[in-house]
Amino acid sequence: MTIGAFIPSSTATHVAVGGEKEQYPSGRFTGYALLACLITMLAALIVGHHIGVSGGIITMPQFSKNFVKESEVTVDQYCGFNDQFVSLFTSYFYLAGLVGVIIASILSSNCRVSGGTILYGAPCYCFGALYWYSTDCTTDLLYGTILMGIGFGFYILSVPLYLSEVAPYGYFPRSTKFSFQLMMTVGIFCTNLVNFGLSKINDGWSWKWSGVLGVFIMILTFIGSALLPNEPICIIKCGFPDLAKRTLQLIRGTDDIVEELNDLLKANRAILDSKQTWKTIFNKKYRPHLVMALAIPFFQQFTGINVIMFYGPSISKSLGMGTNASLIVSVITGGVILFGTLFGVAIADKVERKCLFIAGGVIMFVCEVVAGYDHGVKSISNLHTYGLLALLAVYLVGFACSWGLLGCLVPSEIFPLEIRLMGHCIMVGVSMFSTFIIAQYSLGMFCKFGFGIFHFFAAFILVMTVFVISFLPETKDIPIQEMPKVWGQHWFWRRYYSADDVHEKDVVCVKFITSYYNAKKHTD
């Protein structure tokens, strides 16, 4: 369901020379901090909105009449929507998103300004959506989808990175830790409601309104991003520490920002001294982080969640439900996954991460194995249909509480600052590509194997659960600065860590920086 975005660790807390975790002096929750949080929530709404659009409009009669060829619609209940254009329409968005992620990552690496790439992405998305709205040609519709996807890639890569730099440190853990995933599920649910309402309008244009609604969210994001200052760390990297100091005071609402500014200077010096590039994450001591950056988003997509979110209404309709009934099912699934996410947020800080992963994996595995036993059945009775819907609800709750929520949270707890950008880019890119594969080939697999497709995803869930048990350490309540010790004590990953890596010292003298800026403060 997610596309791999996560909220990276904020610079809200730091580690003193002695290694003890400290909190910066309390400031105010400023308007800039509030605006950054609101933009992140709008980003999550866009993600959920497009998932809902992809799943909903392809079942609307107006869309099917214009774009699904009647000759390709077969009486086989499993192949009712096995249309190449439907697959391309859904999958090309994420393939284009991957291109946008690559371009945005290059800009972020060179310019180190996430806010600027947000401004690039929003117009691209809006132009694609308006082009999409103005055409009834399949080729032009795909062009519009590709433009939207590129803008989406810019957007989804940059927004979480920006928030991690400017988030209010006194509020960061509670205000942003789960906000992205929660607001994404809100976007799915609301879009499914909109799809159901628009399906009642028989003007031939109703399906277009569902997609164009995202333009209004993007416009709000563009305006908000234009009002926000650049991140202080980016200003420092450009060689303007005094401007970074004033910007940080503006964002935090206090003049007492020396400690946080010192940490930003240390982080910048560490990056410069170690000459960190994209090759850094391939260093031996970052091998666990690289594996997790590749495995977590890949496994998250291969739970089968996006088969349900993208094609659930289509599958329901092909099994004999009408358009209204299939869209009602999508509304129900959106509501269930929203409930599951709320439940997951409530228990996430009370239960160990690995326990949630394992429990969710077991629930999803059982549901998909049972659902797959309908493989080869030529007709589905009402009892079977209701049973499958019940299994679907349980599966969605299991996913939302485990891989849906923790797939975004756990990476933010393991990536240190020096590889945070690279790790985030890899995760988003892998998630985009995996989503493209699922969207492109799921309908064909469903046509060929029927509900046996769920056994395919059940096998992946079994593998990923064993992977979590064997290779993912517990991260709950462990400061990110302590993670090298955790990796160094792990039965497998310790081979990649030396004693120097586990007990790594600061690369910059804190006393020198503090004295320098104290003197600078007096001269000001």
Q: Render 459-514 in DSSP notation, one character per residue.
A: HHHHHHHHHHHHHPPP-TT--GGGHHHHHHHSTTGGGG--HHHHTPPPSS-HHHHH
Beta-carbon contacts of residue 140 (< 8 Å; ≥ 6 apart): 131, 132
Residue 166 lies in a domain: yes
Q: What is the pLDDT of residue 513?
A: 39
Q: Is residue 81 very low, low, confident or very high in pLDDT (cuts 50, 70, 90)?
A: low
- Alpha helices (H) along 167-286: 172-176, 179-198, 206-227, 232-237, 241-252, 258-273
Task: Read off the pLDDT of residues 252-265 as tens digits, 9 standing for 90 and up.
Answer: 887 877 887 887 88
Q: How far is it, in rounded angstroms, from Cα 33 to Cα 431? A: 28
Beta-carbon contacts of residue 355 (< 8 Å; ≥ 6 apart): none
Mean pLDDT of the region 142-157: 89
Q: Look at 523 and 135; give whichever has higher pLDDT.
A: 135
Distance of alpha carbon 386 from the chain centroid = 31
CATH number at residue 39: 1.20.1250.20
- Look up the domain containing 163 and give its range: 25-70+85-228
Q: Look at 316 and 188; give whichever has higher pLDDT.
A: 188
Q: How far is it, in rounded angstroms, from Cα 523 to Cα 384? A: 77
Which two structure tokens, joined as six digits, stand for 54?
């992809």
Mean pLDDT of the region 15-20: 35
Of the CA atoms within 13 Å of residue 53, those in its CB half-sphere come to: 25
Measure the N-to-C terminal CA separation of the chain; round to a whole number of Å. 51
Residue 247 lies in a domain: no
Q: How big is the CA angle at 52 (ends 298 and 58), to the nearest 5 degrees?
A: 105
Q: What is the pLDDT of residue 400?
A: 93
Residue 504 lies in a domain: no
- Alpha helices (H) along 349-402: 353-371, 382-399
Residue 267 lies in a domain: no
Instruction: Report which listed range, 106-110, 238-242, 358-362, 514-518, is most confident.
Output: 358-362
Q: What is the pLDDT of residue 24?
A: 60
Q: Look at 253 and 277; give whichever has higher pLDDT.
A: 253
Residue 239 lies in a domain: no
Q: Is residue 477 very low, low, confident or very high in pLDDT (cuts 50, 70, 90)?
A: confident
Instruction: Report which listed range, 124-128, 278-282, 494-498, is most confident.
Output: 124-128
Helix (H) or strand (E) holding 21: strand 21-23
Mean pLDDT of the region 517-523: 45
Q: How far is it, in rounded angstroms, from Cα 477 to Cα 362? A: 24
Q: Is residue 515 very low, low, confident or very high in pLDDT (cuts 50, 70, 90)?
A: very low
Nearest CA to 158 among 103, 216, 213?
103
Instruction: Find the farthest-apart pair of alpha carbons in the chain and give their distance in angstroms, rounded.
Output: 83
Task: Read off the pLDDT of residues 369-382 as tens digits, 9 standing for 90 and up.
Answer: 988 876 555 556 66
For the stretch 103-109, contacts whose Cβ atoms lie closer than 8 Å and that sit 24 or more positions apart, written own/partner, are 103/150, 103/153, 103/154, 104/153, 104/154, 104/157, 104/158, 105/157, 105/421, 105/425, 105/429, 108/157, 108/158, 108/161, 108/421, 108/425, 109/278, 109/421
Say whether pLDDT at 192 is over 70: yes
Say whether pLDDT at 88 is over 70: yes
Mean pLDDT over the full length of the chain: 79
**Range scoring the smallest mean pLDDT among 41-45, 67-71, 85-89:** 67-71
Q: What is the pLDDT of residue 73?
A: 45
Nearest CA to 203 among 383, 61, 93?
61
Mean pLDDT of the region 304-309: 89
Polymer length in residues for the chain: 524
Q: What percent of the chain has pLDDT over 70?
A: 79
Mean pLDDT of the region 54-68: 76
Q: How far is it, in rounded angstroms, from Cα 244 to Cα 510? A: 18
Residue 46 lies in a domain: yes
Mean pLDDT of the region 138-156: 88
Helix (H) or strand (E) holding 15: strand 13-15
Task: Read off the pLDDT of residues 283-301 as tens digits, 9 standing for 90 and up.
Answer: 888 999 999 999 999 999 9
- Domains in the chain, number: 1
Say whether pLDDT at 389 is over 70: yes
Say whether pLDDT at 508 is over 60: no
Residue 415 CA: distances (Å) to CA of 43, 232, 240, 517: 22, 20, 27, 29
Mean pLDDT of the region 190-204: 82
Q: What is the pLDDT of residue 4?
A: 47
Say whether pLDDT at 523 is over 60: no
Q: What is the pLDDT of residue 514?
A: 42
Residue 364 lies in a domain: no
Q: What percent of the chain has pLDDT over 90?
A: 22
Residue 179 CA: distances (Å) to CA of 21, 175, 184, 185: 24, 7, 8, 10
3-state secondary structure of 22: strand
Say whether pLDDT at 163 is over 90: no
Mean pLDDT of the region 434-456: 87
Q: Look at 177 and 107; give whichever has higher pLDDT.
A: 107
Q: What is the pLDDT of residue 20?
A: 37
Q: Look at 498 and 19; give whichever has higher pLDDT.
A: 498
**Range scoring the smallest mean pLDDT among 84-88, 112-116, 423-427:** 112-116
Q: What is the pLDDT of residue 25?
A: 58
Q: What is the pLDDT of residue 338?
A: 92
Mean pLDDT of the region 201-228: 81
Say whether pLDDT at 506 is over 50: no
* Other residues' Cβ atoms within 10 Å of the Cβ of residue 349: 12
Residue 328 lies in a domain: no
Helix (H) or strand (E) holding 103: helix 84-111
Say whether pLDDT at 361 is over 90: yes
3-state secondary structure of 352: coil
